[in-house]
């Protein structure tokens, strides 16, 4: 019984390290080295790739900061890209929390490659043109410098151009007239991300909104108006 009690006490003391003489020494800090930073960033990019299944995302290069120490405790890491949606970001912030408290903010210089099949214009077209299947083709190329590429030709067939485009130019969403997917007064679900958790709330759209646009939404419980990004019909998101 005494043996089992002693074994239990040993296993329930995770923040103790033992020296050469067998004496218990309190572990007061933890090292985050470059190998771990690279793993954290790699995991983040893999998660983003799952959100964008039509895009092949990968790092071409990254400049990591030196290893750093953090206090002992429960560690959580958060990666914040310089640009929403990650694509086009040249820097990322690696934020480290210990027991919920921010301990470190490290800036990481990165070069990203984002490859995908996107809609390309097959001829010079004037503003107001109604697009048909002969006007658009798909090509596989790097989209890291494009804001809103179009991944399916079917999404734009029958839509009107908002401005003139040239032969070989990638077609982007802001060049095409799309009907709103959320209309003013419509009931929506607000999805909020905070410290790795996803929360939802009911809301009411105060503006029309197309996919990717930011619109004002009133939280039905608090009656506060927040700026949200349109994700899909009936769904918006906000990040804290």
Is 17 within 8 Å of 29 (Cβ atoms)?
A: no
Fold of 30-114: Thiol Ester Dehydrase; Chain A (3.10.129)
pLDDT of residue 150: 93
CATH 3.90.1210.10 segments of the chain: 115-175
CATH hierarchy code of domain 115-175: 3.90.1210.10
pLDDT of residue 212: 82
pTM of structure: 0.58
Burial 205-235 (b: 16+ CB within 10 A, else e): bbbbbebbbebbbbbeeeeeebebbbbeeeb
Q: Report whether CATH 3.40.50.2300 matches the domain 187-239.
A: no
* pLDDT lower than 70: segments of the chain: 1-28, 195-196, 240
CATH 3.10.129 segments of the chain: 30-114
pLDDT of residue 18: 32
CATH 2.30.30.760 segments of the chain: 187-239
pLDDT of residue 8: 34
pLDDT of residue 10: 36
Q: What's CA 94's distance to the chain center, in Å?
A: 13
């Amino acid at each position: 019984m005494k043996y089992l009690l002693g074994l239990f006490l040993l296993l329930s003391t995770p923040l103790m390290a033992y020296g050469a003489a067998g004496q218990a020494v309190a572990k007061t800090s933890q090292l985050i080295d470059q190998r771990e930073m690279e793993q954290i960033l790699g995991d983040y990019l893999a998660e983003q790739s799952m959100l964008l299944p039509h895009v092949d995302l990968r790092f071409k290069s990254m400049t990591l900061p030196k290893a750093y120490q953090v206090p002992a405790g429960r560690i959580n890491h958060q990666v914040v890209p310089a640009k929403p949606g990650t694509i086009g970001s040249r820097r990322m912030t690696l934020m480290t929390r210990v027991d919920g408290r921010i301990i470190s903010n490290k800036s990481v210089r990165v070069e990203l490659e984002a490859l995908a099949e996107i809609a390309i214009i097959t001829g010079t077209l004037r503003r107001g043109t109604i697009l048909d299947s002969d006007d658009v083709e798909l090509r596989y190329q790097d989209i890291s410098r494009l804001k809103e590429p179009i991944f399916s030709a079917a999404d734009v067939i029958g839509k009107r151009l908002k401005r003139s485009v040239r032969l070989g130019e990638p077609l982007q969403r802001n060049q095409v007239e799309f009907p709103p997917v959320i209309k003013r007064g419509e009931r929506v679900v607000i999805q909020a991300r905070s410290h790795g958790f996803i929360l939802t709330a009911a809301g009411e759209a105060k503006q029309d909104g197309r996919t990717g646009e930011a619109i004002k939404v009133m939280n039905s419980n608090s009656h506060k108006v927040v700026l949200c990004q349109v994700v899909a019909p009936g769904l918006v998101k906000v990040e804290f």
